[in-house]
Structure 1
Amino acid sequence: MAHYSLVPKSFFLSVVLIIFSFLVAAKLYASEPPPLTLDYYKSTCPTAFDVIRKETECAVLSDPRNAALIVRLHFHDCFVQGCDASILLDDTVTLKGEKKAAASTHSLKGFELIDQIKNMVESECPGIVSCADILTIAARDAVILVGGPYWDVPVGRKDSVTANIDLANTNLPTPNESLLSIISKFLYQGLSVTDMVALAGAHTIGMARCQSFRSRIYGDYGFTSVKNPISESQLSNLRSVCPPMGGGKADNNISAMDYVTPNLFDNSFYQLLLNGEGLLNSDQEMYSSVFGIQTRELVKKYAADPLDFFRQFSESMVKMGNITNSKSFVMGEVRKNCRFVNT
């Protein structure tokens, strides 16, 4: 009698499960964006970083305030769909951009600066360097040019072919938002409380509109600030710039968020918070809020040690710059013009 070696059904089931698991893993891996690298443009556009640095330098030397504009654009970009240059897209018949979102419409400028950098990069390496990478690199270079720290910028991002004004209206922090609400928005992006306090330090070179700080200077500013002639004089200056009644041209009057060294990237911003002189309610809450147990200690830390602030700011900027949009890697592109999707 012949003997047959029967393979148990469980064996076939195990093989099927293994194959299925492999296919699922392969699909997930394929949908994951490739890692950003420092040498992504080494062979395709070796002068990319140099061109971006040169053009950013021209912009910042012509007006130091341009540094803050570029950094703010980068921040707004990364908080909506990841760092994919969606913030740079203009409205078209078929696409509604993010520029008219409540958090962006009056606070974002400097788009023409990125246009200029993009044009120069395109003349060197057509169709190679994404607008998302240009914005990320320019933000680093802008910080350096006003005295801030250096950090390596991994590159290889793709430009989104979509924008999302709804996410721009919900994801971005606002000047009068509560501390807990802002913390939740950072955590949603994968950024910690430490990242939030460090990244807020970019306000050391920022400007704010009267409409953004009116409630603060006619509210609790007088209670949180130290009582000395300098502080009282600053409050008087702010109120002369920003009258109590809104709705007019005065809404667009601006003031530095760090009035001590407005064009220098340093830790003065945190020292002002210690004095209760944060211009925006959202900033001062990091030190004054009853919920700010962790943030208060971080503010003290960065106010006392500028090198510690620089180190953490660099780490947090890299972390924020690595927020990616997987769809952009699958469906994205390198835009020829940062304002419009390629045709």
Structure 2
Amino acid sequence: MTTKIFQKLFSLFLLFAMTTVMANTEELSLDYYKYSCPGVEDIVKRITEQYVSHVPRFAPGLLRMVFHDCFVRGCDASVLIDPTESNNQTEKTALPNVTLRGYEVVEAIKSALESHCPGVVSCADILALSSRDGIRTINGPFWEVPLGRKDGKISLASDADSLLPSPFFNFSSLQQNFAALGLTTKDLVVLLGSHTIGQGHCFIFQHRLYNFTGRGDRDPSLSPSYVEFLKTRCTPNPNDTQSFVAMDRITPRVFDENYYVMVSQNRGLFQSDAALLTNPETKSYIDQQIKSKGSIFAQDFSVSMSKMIKLGVLTGNQGEVRKTCGAVNA
């Protein structure tokens, strides 16, 4: 197959996928549960605030979880499905998802809503709402969440392994990954700004410190002084899944522009962070955020999140409303 034919077919695929997404999102609405489950957003907000107030790490955890859900089969809560004897390799078991946290928050909300209005509110809507409310609890930006998503029935670890953007990606791979979902280069750099909160596990980036090319060297794109600091927190053991560091060392618990400051100083933890400096558009955005002290970052993030939480949604009879978020209905 020639390159031109492949590009044409890929473009047609994107057009079909985006048309389908747009058609489905038209069925979402801000008052979807107005009569079937009044007060749903208040319940989600109250329980999310309870958890995040006690354990602030749930805020980035829920945000990361909705990213990992929406990038695989769309925002259908497939990332929440537990492995079973018949399906022992769900998205939960995929390597990029083994460090996800926040499942208990979603299940607590689901339990409360099942008592309030049984069989009405989907886990996909709960995840979309709770990820927003978690960020709001730590004084981050707000975005509207139209509702009406249905839950998917398929969850495969292989999908997560192949479709999620990798922390090892260069810029071209990142751009292709986001573009395949209809997200722009600006969406890419804005959404990676979520690394302003949360933690990075050492096993994901320790090769940049100790053995970048297999010769016991460090990644030359990483600040030497930052490498020395990271070595005090991360061992050379690639199987150490317990050690981690803040992705934004400047203000690790504040949703602000300092992730971009870290990247500009060659202190982004992942290769995908460093990749943002290799593209003129994303580098310009980073410079803009630093100069403006993040004055428009919250607004930009809200716009990009509003797009992302509508990716590939299931509506109407396309999915189901799970009784529990960890299992499809019998």
TM-score strictly above 0.5? yes
Distance 1:59 1:237 in 2: 31
Distance 1:320 1:46 in 2: 25
| Aligned mate of 1:163, from 155, 158, 165 | 155
Report Cα offsets for 1:257-283 as digits up to 9, x if no partner: 001111111111011111111111111
CA contact (8 A) 1:221 1:277 kept: no
Cα deviation for residue 217 of structure 1 reads 3.2
Q: Who is 1:141 aligned against?
A: 133
Cα distance, 1:177–1:64 mapped onto 2, change above 3 Å: same
Q: Choose 236-245 or 136-145, whichever is displaced more.
A: 236-245
- Is 2:58 the counterpart of 1:58? no
Q: Who is 2:249 aligned against?
A: 259
Report Cα offsets for 1:78-100 as digits up to 9, x if no partner: 00110000000011233342111
Distance 1:201 1:331 in 2: 33
The one-letter amino acid paired with 2:207 is S
Cα distance, 1:245–1:93 mapped onto 2, change above 3 Å: closer
**What does 1:290-301 align with in structure 2 at a 5 Å threshold?**
292-301=279-288
**What does 1:112-151 align with in structure 2 at a 5 Å threshold?**
112-151=104-143
- Is 2:77 the counterpart of 1:74? no
Cα deviation for residue 223 of structure 1 reads 5.0
| Aligned mate of 1:332, from 319, 322, 330 | 319
Distance 1:94 1:332 in 2: 20
Distance 1:63 1:251 in 2: 20
Cα deviation for residue 216 of structure 1 reads 2.6
- Is 2:297 the counterpart of 1:319? no
Distance 2:291 2:69 in 1: 31
Q: How many percent of aligned residue pairs carry the same amino acid? A: 37
CA contact (8 A) 1:80 1:164 kept: no
Provide the aligned C-alpha RMSD in A: 2.0
CA contact (8 A) 2:203 2:237 kept: no
Q: Who is 1:109 aligned against?
A: 101
> Any idea what SS the aligned residue of 1:255 has?
strand
How many pairs are equivalent? 302
Report Cα offsets for 1:16-53 as digits up to 9, x if no partner: xxxxxxxxxxxx99x95352111101111121000100
- Is 2:258 the counterpart of 1:268? yes
Cα distance, 1:307–1:45 mapped onto 2, change above 3 Å: farther
Cα deviation for residue 178 of structure 1 reads 1.2
CA contact (8 A) 2:221 2:274 kept: no
- Is 2:168 the counterpart of 1:176? yes
Cα deviation for residue 222 of structure 1 reads 6.0
Distance 2:291 2:61 in 1: 27
**What does 1:139-288 align with in structure 2 at a 5 Å threshold?**
139-218=131-210, 219=212, 223-225=221-223, 232=225, 234-247=226-239, 250-287=240-277
State the TM-score, normalized to the length of structure 1: 0.83
Q: Who is 2:75 aligned against?
A: 83
Distance 1:115 1:254 in 2: 26
- Ranges in structure 2 where 5+ consecutive residues have no aligned partner: 1-18, 213-217
- Is 2:92 the counterpart of 1:99? yes
